[in-house]
Amino acid sequence: MDKERRAARRRDRLGRDLTALSAGALGLCLLLVAGLLGLLAEEGLGYFWPRPVERFALKDGTAALGEAVAREAIPGEKTRFRIQIKRGDRDFDGADFVWIDEDQIVSRTRPADAVLLERSEWGPFYGRLSALRRGDETIAEGQNAVLAAFPALWREKKRAAAELRSLERGPVGAINAEIERLNLSRRAPALARLAPAERDRRLREIDAQVAARKGEYERLAERLAAQRLELNKETLVLEAEGGATKEMPVANVVRLVRPNDLTFGGKLRLYGSRLREFVAGEPRESNTEGGVFPALFGTVMMVFLMTFVVSPLGALAAVYLREYAKQGPLVRAVRIAVNNLAGVPSIVFGMFGLGFFVYLVGGTIDKLFYAEALPAPTFGTGGILWAALTLALLTVPVVIVAAEEGLAAVPRAVREGSLALGATKFETTWRIVVPAAAPGILTGMILAMARAAGEVAPLMIVGMVKLAPRLPVDGTFPFVHFERKFMHLGFHIYDVGFQSPNVDAAKPLVFATALLLVLVVAAMNLLAIGLRNHLRAKYTSSAV
């Protein structure tokens, strides 16, 4: 009896130890996740908070003006330190980050008149404003006068630039698309089958239409040229630390800030403005500045396209395997194959997508429906549709396994009760079993969405690019362009982090983009989880 009690105590002690170990492992995982998110938030979101602009006077008589962004020990020396300064002005001497040894600094001040200009080209500028000109005429001279005249003029130029972009992307883009369509219609197979006289008449009509469109294009081009000339007429004279000067069009200014005069409320407004630009703006300067909206849009659209394909495909396969297929060696082999597919490297799926979807399916579509555009491919090249289908194949094993587990969890009594009441096998499956298994199917969708949002390797082969000038959705018929290439947040992180010519400027954007990708995946997962919980509560009687 004593031996049995000792054995029971040992089992209880072992159970408590294993429970504590499990709790510790869970706590460690949560700590690591929190640490990762904290690092991303600190490095990414902290980048947008305005820093003071400082002037560093050095022992050799020179000075540097900019933001102190890092401090570290000098390599090989433990007692001496150096400071990294973001001084911008790369159009003056080509280097917008410099390291300065602390023992070379004579004084470190924050000039009240220091100005930060965020520009659409050549990165930020730190310095002072010397003059504001319109052609050869000086509108304002001296920084105070320039700052007084600048805001109204800058707002006017921003409105003019927005009108110019609207004209380029609207009427001009529509005319170019129409001219391209008319030129392609000359080579249409249907036109070649017409009688010679009819074909000549149709060609003359096409020529007349092209001539009319070209006339419209030339008039718009003249208007655009005049607007561009007027847009760049006013210029700022910039004075960098050291006295070097340069003229820059007012329209190229993204934001003018006096960081050392900002109140806390002003810093908050500037922080919000920079965050909005990051999320809703377009990239510039080789993706090292500006926003990531095209990559954000491409990621979300690609994931949802993939979900629309993989959800019915995976659910139907699971229903057949669980409810209709005769269980035996063949079905077991299929299940083993499905499970093994989940372990195939993603790049293999990318190669399959390139060969099957792009070259075979896309090439066939081009021959049948876009022959006049050949040899330039329409669907026979990478695009967002082929990327979504490739990722659907990549993630379908996950959906099948999760859906089968959901179907298996539906009690046998539910099926038998439905059949006993006179329902057919089909009615029982689609009206009773599948709705009850919907939470399990949605679990597979959640896992598939999370994996698809983070995949990069296969997408590099089937349609993802560094910079896509046009979104897959726009105002041009047919409005949704599945054949277009797209940008992706995952590839954007890789490109900015490892392919950027300016690593120091790009590093904070890597963290910010990674945090945005995590938030996008979390938002999509929470949406699916909310739907799953709703269905689980609705079918709670099924014991799923």
Mean pLDDT confidence for 99-123: 89
- DSSP structure string for 314-356: HHHHHHIIIIISPPSHHHHHHHHHHHHHTTS-HHHHHHHIIII
Is the confidence at residue 459, as pLDDT, over 60?
A: yes
Residue 344's contacts (CB-CB under 8 Å, 6 or more residues apart) are none
Q: pLDDT band for position 28 (50/70/90)?
A: very high
Q: Of 48-62, 341-355, 438-452, where does mean pLDDT reach its minimum?
A: 438-452
For residue 544, what pLDDT is reported?
39
Per DSSP, what are the bridge partners of residue 126?
116
Helices vs. strands in the chain: H and E counts, helices first: 18, 13
The residue ranking higher by pLDDT, 66 or 190, is 66
φ and ψ at residue 129, rounded to 5 degrees: -100, 125
Number of Cβ within 10 Å of residue 181's Cβ equals 14
Q: Which residue has the tokens 């004075």?
A: 239
The residue ranking higher by pLDDT, 136 or 255, is 255
Mean pLDDT confidence for 482-487: 91
Per DSSP, what are the bridge partners of residue 246?
238
Is the confidence at residue 472, as pLDDT, over 80?
A: yes
Specify whether the CB–CB gap between 370 and 479 falls below 8 A. no
| Alpha-helix residue ranges (DSSP H) falling in 188-280 | 189-192, 196-231, 264-280
Query: Six-digit token pair at 273?
Result: 């403005």
Q: pLDDT band for position 462 (50/70/90)?
A: very high
Specify whether the CB–CB gap between 84 and 105 falls below 8 A. no
Is the confidence at residue 183, as pLDDT, over 90?
A: no
pLDDT in tens, 79-94: 889 999 988 877 777 6
The residue ranking higher by pLDDT, 275 or 18, is 275
CA 87 to the chain's CA centroid = 28
Query: Six-digit token pair at 159?
Result: 């409105």
Give the amino acid at 130: S
Is the confidence at residue 541, as pLDDT, over 60?
A: no
For residue 542, what pLDDT is reported?
44
Mean pLDDT confidence for 250-258: 90
Mean pLDDT confidence for 459-472: 87
Q: pLDDT band for position 540 (50/70/90)?
A: low
Specify whether the CB–CB gap between 107 and 57 falls below 8 A. yes
Q: pLDDT band for position 273 (50/70/90)?
A: very high
DSSP 476: S
Query: Six-digit token pair at 27?
Result: 């706590």
Specify whether the CB–CB gap between 63 and 56 falls below 8 A. yes
If residue 107 lies in a helix (H) or strand (E), which one and from where to where?
Answer: strand 105-109
Is the confidence at residue 22, as pLDDT, over 70?
A: yes
Q: pLDDT band for position 539 (50/70/90)?
A: low
Query: Six-digit token pair at 200?
Result: 């000549």
For residue 525, what pLDDT is reported?
83
DSSP 395: H
For residue 1, what pLDDT is reported?
59
Q: Of 132-141, 188-197, 504-513, where does mean pLDDT reach its minimum?
A: 188-197
If residue 184 lies in a helix (H) or strand (E), which one and from where to where?
Answer: helix 173-185
Q: pLDDT band for position 388 (50/70/90)?
A: very high
What percent of the chain has pLDDT above 90? 21
Q: pLDDT band for position 305 (50/70/90)?
A: very high
Is the confidence at residue 268, as pLDDT, over 90?
A: yes
Distance CA 83, CA 101 (A): 6
Query: Six-digit token pair at 527?
Result: 């949406």
φ and ψ at residue 416, rounded to 5 degrees: -65, -35
Query: Quick one: which of 115, 154, 116, 352 has its CA closest to 235?
Result: 154
Q: What is the value of pTM for the model shown?
A: 0.88
3-class secondary-structure state, position 118: strand
For residue 34, what pLDDT is reported?
92
Is the confidence at residue 543, as pLDDT, over 70?
A: no
If residue 449 lies in a helix (H) or strand (E), which one and from where to where?
Answer: helix 434-454
Q: pLDDT band for position 29 (50/70/90)?
A: very high
